[in-house]
Structure 1
Amino acid sequence: MQNLWRAQKTTEAGANLFIELNYFVNHLILIKIIRKMSMISLTGTYDTPNGSRYLQQLCKHFAHKVEAQCTENSGFAALGFGDTTFVATDSALVITIALKGGEDPMDAQRMIDAHLVRFAFREEFETMSWSIDAHAAHH
């Protein structure tokens, strides 16, 4: 540890590199701990008056490959990265994904967003507003 401290103090550029590398390593370790000890859920929200239409399109599309079902205002799909629920209101589409252990949240977000880009092209959709929630897994 003393050698690292000396290397950090040697130059400002070196110190900044050390700090950035240290942050990156700690971030990776934290992600691994969260994935092992937590249940991660993602929630995407898209403000649109057409949530019901997109919910039904997504569920029907996913039903060709996985278990999926829907009504006008709610749906479910057993996607590869985790169970996914869909809720449509008059003003939004909300998608919640309970990620399976070890799945990358960014992959799930990209996949859902990519499908909505095709279905919501008239609205020039780009991405849902995503949030992530990690909570202790029940053992």
Structure 2
Amino acid sequence: MLTSTAHYPTEHASKYLQQLCKHFAHKVTVENDAHRGSVALEAGPAELTADENGLTIRVTAEDAKGIIGARFVFDIHLVTFAHREGFTGLSWAMLP
């Protein structure tokens, strides 16, 4: 399994976490509250955490194609949700 994480520094982390989870809940299984969320993406699970420092997203997939797809899903939705903040994309890091 491959894992990748990204952190988006924002004062609106909880708002974005809830928007993302509500949006994804129309298609996949989602569990969330104001500070934590889990999204059962087709490629693998995604975990979201919101705190005073921002939004952290962790995606897991079996292969590089799945990781790339999961990253894209979050990037493209945050472009829409966080456009007022000038969001242009996340800097993703691979975890060992």
Give the TM-score normalised by the residue count of structure 2. 0.92
Deviations 1:83-128 (A, max 9, x none): 01100011210000111x2351222211110000010011010111
- Tell me how far apart the structure 2 counterparts of residues 108 and 115 of structure 1 sit (CA, whole Å): 11
Pick from 57, 64, 88 the counterpart of residue 95 of structure 1: 57
Question: 88-97 or 104-113, which moves further after superposition?
Answer: 104-113
Pick from 31, 42, 49 the counterpart of residue 69 of structure 1: 31
The 3-state SS of whatever aligns with 1:84 is strand
Within-5 A mapping of 1:1-139: 39-99=1-61, 101-104=62-65, 105-134=67-96
Determine what percentage of the aligned residue pairs are the same residue: 39
**Deviation beyond 4 Å, 4+ runs, structure 1:** none
- Tell me how far apart the structure 2 counterparts of residues 86 and 47 of structure 1 sit (CA, whole Å): 13
For the pair shown, the structure with the greater C-alpha radius of gyration is 1
The 3-state SS of whatever aligns with 1:76 is strand
**Structure 1 regions of 5+ residues with no counterpart?**
1-38, 135-139
- Tell me how far apart the structure 2 counterparts of residues 50 and 133 of structure 1 sit (CA, whole Å): 25
Aligned length: 95
The 3-state SS of whatever aligns with 1:129 is coil
Larger fraction in helix? 1
- Tell me how far apart the structure 2 counterparts of residues 76 and 85 of structure 1 sit (CA, whole Å): 5
By relative contact order (CA 8 Å, sep 6+), the higher-ranking structure is 2
